[in-house]
Amino acid sequence: MKLRYIIQSICFLLAGIAIQSQAQERLTSVASNPALLKEAKAAPYKSVIPEALKLPVIDDFSGSSHSPDASAWINGQVYINNTFGLNPPTCGVATFDAIDSTGKIYSNATVESFMADTLTSRPINLFLPLDTTIYLSFYYQPQGLGDAPEPGDSLLVEFYAPDSKSWLRVWNMQGSADTDFKIAMINITDSRFLQNGFKFRFRNKASLSPSYEPSLKVNADHWNIDYVYLNSGRHLNDTIMKDASLVQPVGSLLLNYTAMPWEHFKLAGISSVKAIFQISLNNLSSDLRAFTPVFKITPAWGSDPGFEKSLLSDEVKAYQTLKYDATFNYGFSSSLKDSALFDISLDMNQAMPDWIPGNDKLVTQQLFSDYYAYDDGSAEAGYGLVGEGSKSGMVAYRFKNFNEGDSLYAVDLYFNRSFADAGKKYFQLAMWTDDNNKPGTLIHSQSGVVPVYNGINEFQRIKLDTAQLVSGNYYIGWIQTTADFLNVGFDRQNNHGQDIFYKLSGDWKQSEFEGSLMIRPVFANKSRKSGNDPSVIASSISNQAKIYPNPANNFILIEGGDQSAIMRITLTDLQGRLVRNFLKSGPSCKVGISDLPKGIYIIGVQTDSGINTRQKLVIIHE
């Protein structure tokens, strides 16, 4: 992205005049995404059938998958998400940029505009001769919370003519820094398109930064689209959608973090939980919409009762966006010892049904594991130091430890990719004490660390060669060994810029950018008695379950418990969303996976006897 964030005097940037900050494309291809289909919606095309789709066709990208809905779209390198759109019409957008479905910048990328992402509809039966009332509409937004596309870049719409088997461009918009969502209306009257087998597709043209520095050639030129709607019986001013949608999920309910180690949270208690959260509802229709929202927190693991509250009934006027605060009082209780997961849902319970009823109920998750996090796991930008004088630059990120007897034994980092992996340079992982709310004494440095790209939004875990005991405020970050832009993931949805410090010469300075670095300190409760003794850390790490075969086809076998052990097994996708969780007893178990889509998952195995395993699992179906 070329976010124009640069401080010329110190060459410190999140993205600069010639810089593109890496944003988040979609997570995986359709074939490897565990959550392939969205929530069922009241739209005609929502069942996957081989025949051509029938009118109306509608999608607001509000489903749970980060890949396009396979029942509506044939392909799509785009990223379905709820983080890149700035004030979108409904929850969820499709984001176009300069990276492919694997997180790499396209191999044909140049400083000149090139074709990047594509989102193509399934074939549609549009055999309606002489009908002049067919319109395709959609909302579009350049930049959003990503990077502004240049005037030479563009968003395109193309129609497919079945008889000639050719694509024709029917609409385009040049790039700009205008972040408003606008609606496009395209009338379809040409007989070449009024055929069975008609298709439409969105494409974007992007370009790399012309920077002299290869590590600054990163992802750029974002477009967001929302609420794609194709139907007959429409007219040019038919921009009213009979729909009211939540604009965003509840998000983290912790006061200062998005995630905490479970045992640390139990010490911090309810004082670390928010008392309020914001509700944001958008009414796209011409009708008054009445609703009685219900807020639920349900433990995903264990049998604890959870929390439910019916909020006050309200109304949202026609074409109005309603934002207000809701209160709750729940401290997240669970009988589990070392981790916990809670489903958090907000259901508006509208009195009147609308076109897409699923988008007025959103579910998110609150995870308590072994790490602290300020970020939500999605990078909308990149952050780093670059330029003359930055070779020995330092970045420090402030955290507070709520369990001073626990040991910090690893750090999770997420790095965005530069073109040809030019930002993949060695650096020193570092840790500092607190000195009057600024980084103080350097207490740990670890050489020979290099970014590893495990996938979109997939963190790299770096184990400390010596575990550390930290108390109160402390700082984690890096010391550069080159002037290259490391491009650390930067979450623009959650602002902790006040906790980010950098140093090029002289004193530490606080960052002027609003957002959160995707850096997470990881604690090991097995090392509590021995403090920073690395042998205990090594012992706890070696106490692993055996999972095989890997890659797997129809089942996996898990070994490592004892006769009385209860194994808690979880499968998550690479975004961290829970796919499956269950309990098994005994020294081993067999788990069927034939019903899961092929792809890469993270499997976790935990037992009360000390087993704690987390590794990648590849599922293939031959």
Query: Among residues 536, 557, 582, which one ends one of the domains?
Result: 536
For the chain, percent of residues with pLDDT exceeding 90 = 56
Residue labelled with tokens 């007897």:
405
C-alpha–C-alpha distance, residues 529 and 532, integer Å = 9
Can you spell out the DSSP letters for 215-269? Answer: GG-B----EEEEEEEEESS--TT----S-EEESS-----BSS-SBEEHHHHHHHG
pLDDT of residue 13: 32
User: How buried is residue 108: exposed, middle or buried, by Cβ count under 10 Å (0-12/13-18/19+)?
Assistant: exposed
Task: Report the pLDDT averaged over residues 470-488.
Answer: 92
pLDDT of residue 5: 29
Residues in CB range of 582: below 8 A, 6 or more apart: 568, 569, 591
pLDDT of residue 66: 84
For the chain, the domain total comes to 4
User: Is residue 359 classed as helix, strand or coil in its secondary structure?
Assistant: helix
pLDDT of residue 535: 41
Q: What pLDDT, in 10s, does the model give residues 383-431?
A: 999 888 888 999 999 999 999 888 999 999 999 888 877 778 899 999 9
Same domain, 435 and 531: yes
In this structure, are strands 289-291 and 260-261 parallel, antiparallel, or unpaired? unpaired
CB-based contact 365:298 (threshold 8 Å): no
Q: Is residue 368 part of a domain?
A: no
Same domain, 565 and 514: no
Q: What pLDDT, in 10s, does the model give residues 462-475?
A: 999 889 989 899 99
CATH number for the domain spanning 520: value is 2.60.120.820
C-alpha–C-alpha distance, residues 548 and 406, integer Å = 32
pLDDT at 518 over 50: yes
Same domain, 502 and 550: no
Amino acid code (one letter) for 448: G
Task: Report the pLDDT averaged over residues 369-391.
Answer: 91
Q: Is residue 84 part of a domain?
A: yes
Q: Provide the domain limits for residue 558.
A: 543-619
Distance set, CA 366 to CA 95, 263, 358, 568 (Å): 25, 15, 21, 18
pLDDT band at residue 572 under the 50/70/90 scheme:
confident
Task: Report the pLDDT averaged over residues 211-232.
Answer: 86
Same domain, 555 and 584: yes
Phi, psi of 396 (to 5 degrees): -130, 140
pLDDT of residue 316: 94
| 3-state percent breakdown (helix, strand, coil) of the chain, nearest 5 | 5, 45, 50
Same domain, 343 and 420: no
Q: Is residue 570 part of a domain?
A: yes
pLDDT at 39 over 80: no
Average per-residue pLDDT for the chain: 84
C-alpha–C-alpha distance, residues 268 and 289, integer Å = 40
Smallest Cα–Cα separation from 467: which of 493, 501, 444? Answer: 444
Same domain, 175 and 275: no
Residue labelled with tokens 């990223």:
79
Task: Report the pLDDT averaged over residues 544-568.
Answer: 79
pLDDT of residue 621: 79
Q: Is residue 376 part of a domain?
A: no
pLDDT of residue 583: 80
Q: What pLDDT, in 10s, does the model give residues 300-350?
A: 987 888 999 999 999 999 999 999 999 999 999 888 878 899 999 999 999
Task: List the structure tokens of 267.
Answer: 């010490």
pLDDT of residue 527: 40
Same domain, 260 and 297: yes
Q: Which of 154-163, 355-364, 458-467, 523-532 has the lowest mean pLDDT?
A: 523-532
Same domain, 200 and 266: no
C-alpha–C-alpha distance, residues 166 and 184, integer Å = 23
Alpha carbon of residue 305 to chain centroid: 29
Q: What pLDDT, in 10s, does the model give residues 47-90?
A: 344 579 999 999 999 987 888 988 999 876 799 999 999 999 99
pLDDT band at residue 533 under the 50/70/90 scheme:
very low
Q: Is residue 373 part of a domain?
A: no
C-alpha–C-alpha distance, residues 263 and 163, integer Å = 64
pLDDT of residue 594: 87
Q: What pLDDT, in 10s, does the model give residues 132-186?
A: 999 999 999 999 998 899 999 999 999 999 999 999 999 999 999 889 999 999 9
In this structure, are strands 5-7 and 500-503 parallel, antiparallel, or unpaired? unpaired
Same domain, 331 and 456: no
pTM: 0.74
Q: What pLDDT, in 10s, does the model give residues 258-308?
A: 999 999 999 998 889 999 999 999 999 999 999 999 999 999 987 888 999
Same domain, 48 and 92: yes
pLDDT band at residue 618 under the 50/70/90 scheme:
confident
- 516 or 603: which carries more pLDDT confidence? 516
pLDDT of residue 566: 77
Same domain, 347 and 399: no
Task: Report the pLDDT averaged over residues 513-540.
Answer: 63
Query: Among residues 502, 536, 570, which one ends one of the domains?
Result: 536
pLDDT band at residue 622 under the 50/70/90 scheme:
low
Same domain, 161 and 301: no
- The Cβ of residue 451 has, within 10 Å, a number of other Cβ atoms equal to 21
Task: Report the pLDDT averaged over residues 367-376.
Answer: 95
pLDDT at 563 over 80: no
Q: Is residue 581 part of a domain?
A: yes
Task: List the structure tokens of 544.
Answer: 């692993």
**ω into residue 551 within 30 of 0, thus cis?**
yes
In this structure, are strands 294-299 and 307-310 parallel, antiparallel, or unpaired? antiparallel
Q: Is residue 277 part of a domain?
A: yes
pLDDT band at residue 576 under the 50/70/90 scheme:
low
Can you spell out the DSSP letters for 407-461? Answer: EEEEEEE-BPPBGGGTT---EEEEEEEESSSSEEEEEEEEEEE-----STTPPEE
CATH number for the domain spanning 222: value is 2.60.120.260
Q: What is the DSSP letter of 267?
A: H
In this structure, are strands 114-121 and 244-246 parallel, antiparallel, or unpaired? unpaired
Residue 493 half-sphere exposure toward CB, CA atoms < 13 A: 25
Q: Is residue 133 part of a domain?
A: yes
CATH number for the domain spanning 270: value is 2.60.40
User: Is residue 502 classed as helix, strand or coil in its secondary structure?
Assistant: strand
C-alpha–C-alpha distance, residues 314 and 293, integer Å = 8
Query: Among residues 231, 261, 295, which one ends one of the domains?
Result: 231
Residue labelled with tokens 């207490």:
443
